[in-house]
C-alpha cells in the first residue's frame, strides 16, 4: 500500500533536488536541499573557504547568508504552490542577529505564510545548529510573475 | 586598495573608483537567463562596506552589518553588473548606506538596497602618563 502523503513528499523532494542542481549560483555557494513542508523549505550551506568575508576570524559573508535565505524563501513559495510558476523577489530584508560560527554549516528555513493571486509573503530564519539561537531573520515578498 | 576577501573574489568583483563591478560569469546564474538575486545582494553589500569604510577612514574600525533591505526593480540579465553606494548619514555608532545596482544602462536600476552598518571601534588604549 502506498502512503499518499509520503509519495507527495518524495515527489517534491525529487523536484526540488532536480531544480536546485540546475541553479549555478547555488552550486557555487554549495547550497543544497534539506527538507520541506506544505508551506516551508529548508536549505543548507556548508562552511567553505570561498564564503569567508573576514579572513582574520573565518566568519562568512552576510551576503552568502542573504543568498541562502533568498533561495529558501523562493523554494517556500514553490512548495506552497505545489508546482513551478515563475516568481521573482520583490523585496527582501535580512537582519543579521550575530555572526555565523566559523566551520559551521548554515541552515536556512523559510515559510510562505500568505499567498495571494500575485504576491507571496515570506519569512524565515538562518541558524548554525540551534534554531532557537538564529544568526539571521528575513522577511520579504515575491511577485508571481506568471499570474494573469 | 586592499585585497578582496574570498567571498568577493568568488563573486569576481573588482573596484573602479567609487564603483564595484561584477563581471558576468556562469556562477552568478539563478534561473535560466537571469542572475541570482543573492549575487546582486552580495555585490551591493560589498559596495556599501567599501564606501562606508572609505567614509570612516579609521583603519582600526570594524563594520558589522545590522541589516539590509533589497528592492529588486528589474531582472538581472546575463551581463556585467555595477554598484555604487552612497552614505546617507555617518554617525558615531552607525552608518546608513544606500546602494544602487545597474547593468548596461545606469538609468535603469536593477536593484536598490538600504543598509545599516554598526561601527565597532577598538577600545582606546590606556595612556601611559608617567
Encode pLDDT of B30-89 as tens digits: 988 999 999 999 999 999 999 999 999 888 889 999 999 999 999 999 999 999 999 999
pLDDT of residue A14 exceeding 90, the answer is no
CA–CA distance, A70 with B68 (Å, rounded to integer): 12
pLDDT interval class at B128 (50, 70, 90): low
pLDDT of residue B7 exceeding 80, the answer is yes
| CATH code assigned at A43 | 3.10.129.10
What average pLDDT does the segment A36-50 reach? 95
**In whole numbers, what is the pLDDT of chain A averaged over residues?**
91
pLDDT at A136 (0 to 100)? 98
Mutation to test the A interface, candidates B33, B66, B72, B94, most A Cβ within 10 Å: B72
Position B129 in a domain: no
Position B125 in a domain: no
Reading the block at residue A145, the C-alpha cell is 510573475
pLDDT at B93 (0 to 100)? 94
User: Which of B5, B28, B69 faces A53 most closely, judged by CB atoms?
Assistant: B5
pLDDT at B1 (0 to 100)? 46
Look at chain A and report how many structural domains it folds into. 1
User: In this structure, what are the phi and psi dihedrals at residue B115, rounded to the nearest 5 degrees?
Assistant: -130, 145
pLDDT of residue A3 exceeding 80, the answer is no
3-state DSSP assignment of residue A135: coil
Tell me which residue range forms the domain holding B110: 6-120
pLDDT at B115 (0 to 100)? 98
* Interface check A26 vs B, CB under 8 A: yes
* Distance in Å, alpha carbon of A36 to nearest chain B alpha carbon: 20
CA–CA distance, A115 with A81 (Å, rounded to integer): 9
Nearest CA in chain B to A99: B64
* A67 vs A17 pLDDT, higher one: A67
pLDDT at B52 (0 to 100)? 96
pLDDT of residue B2 exceeding 70, the answer is no
pLDDT of residue A2 exceeding 70, the answer is no
The distance of Cα B80 from the centroid of its chain, to the nearest Å, equals 16
pLDDT interval class at A19 (50, 70, 90): confident
Encode pLDDT of A71-93 as tens digits: 999 999 999 998 777 889 999 99
At CB < 8 Å, which residues of chain B contact A?
5-10, 26-31, 35-39, 41-43, 45-46, 64-72, 75
| Residue carrying C-alpha cell 511577485 | A143
* Interface check A50 vs B, CB under 8 A: yes
Tell me which residue range forms the domain holding A15: 4-144
Q: Is the separation of the CB atoms in A135 and A98 below 8 Å?
A: yes
Report chain B residues whose CB lies below 8 A from the CB of A23: 29-31, 36
Position B23 in a domain: yes
pLDDT of residue A15 exceeding 90, the answer is no
Q: What is the pTM of this model?
A: 0.91
Percent of chain B's residues with pLDDT above 70: 93
CB–CB of A50 and B10 under 8 A?
yes
| CATH code assigned at B102 | 3.10.129.10
Q: Are strands A40-45 and A32-36 parallel, antiparallel or unpaired?
A: antiparallel
- Window 103-132 of A, Cβ < 8 Å to B: none
Reading the block at residue A51, the C-alpha cell is 564564503
| Residue carrying C-alpha cell 520541506 | A36
User: Which of B36, B64, B69 faces A25 most closely, judged by CB atoms?
Assistant: B36
* Distance in Å, alpha carbon of B11 to nearest chain A alpha carbon: 9
User: Which of A23, A53, A94 faces B30 most closely, judged by CB atoms?
Assistant: A23
Nearest CA in chain B to A91: B71
* Interface check A61 vs B, CB under 8 A: yes
Amino acid at each position: 500500500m502506498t502512503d499518499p502523503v509520503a509519495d507527495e513528499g518524495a515527489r517534491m523532494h525529487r523536484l526540488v533536488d532536480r531544480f536546485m542542481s540546475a541553479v549555478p549560483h547555488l552550486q557555487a555557494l554549495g547550497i543544497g536541499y534539506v527538507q520541506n513542508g506544505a508551506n516551508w523549505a529548508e536549505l543548507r550551506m556548508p562552511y567553505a573557504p570561498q564564503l569567508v568575508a573576514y579572513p582574520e576570524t573565518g566568519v562568512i559573508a552576510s551576503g552568502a547568508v542573504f543568498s541562502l535565505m533568498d533561495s529558501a524563501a523562493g523554494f517556500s513559495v514553490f512548495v506552497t504552490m505545489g508546482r513551478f510558476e515563475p516568481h521573482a523577489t520583490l523585496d527582501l530584508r535580512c537582519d543579521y542577529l550575530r555572526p555565523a560560527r566559523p566551520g559551521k554549516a548554515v541552515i536556512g528555513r523559510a515559510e510562505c505564510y500568505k499567498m495571494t493571486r500575485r504576491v507571496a509573503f515570506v519569512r524565515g530564519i538562518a541558524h548554525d545548529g540551534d534554531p532557537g539561537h538564529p544568526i539571521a531573520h528575513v522577511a520579504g515578498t515575491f511577485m508571481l510573475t506568471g499570474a494573469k | 586598495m586592499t585585497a578582496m576577501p574570498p567571498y568577493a573574489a568568488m563573486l569576481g568583483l573588482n573596484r573602479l573608483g567609487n564603483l564595484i563591478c561584477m563581471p558576468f560569469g556562469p556562477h552568478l546564474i539563478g534561473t535560466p537567463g537571469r542572475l541570482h538575486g543573492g549575487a546582486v545582494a552580495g555585490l551591493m553589500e560589498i559596495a556599501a562596506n567599501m564606501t562606508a569604510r572609505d567614509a570612516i577612514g579609521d583603519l582600526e574600525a570594524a563594520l558589522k552589518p545590522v541589516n539590509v533591505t533589497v528592492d529588486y526593480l528589474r531582472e538581472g540579465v546575463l551581463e556585467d553588473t555595477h554598484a555604487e553606494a552612497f552614505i546617507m548619514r555617518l554617525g558615531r555608532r552607525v552608518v546608513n548606506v544606500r546602494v544602487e545596482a545597474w547593468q548596461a544602462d545606469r538609468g535603469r536600476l536593477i536593484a536598490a538596497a538600504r543598509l545599516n552598518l554598526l561601527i565597532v571601534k577598538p577600545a582606546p588604549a590606556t595612556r601611559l602618563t608617567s
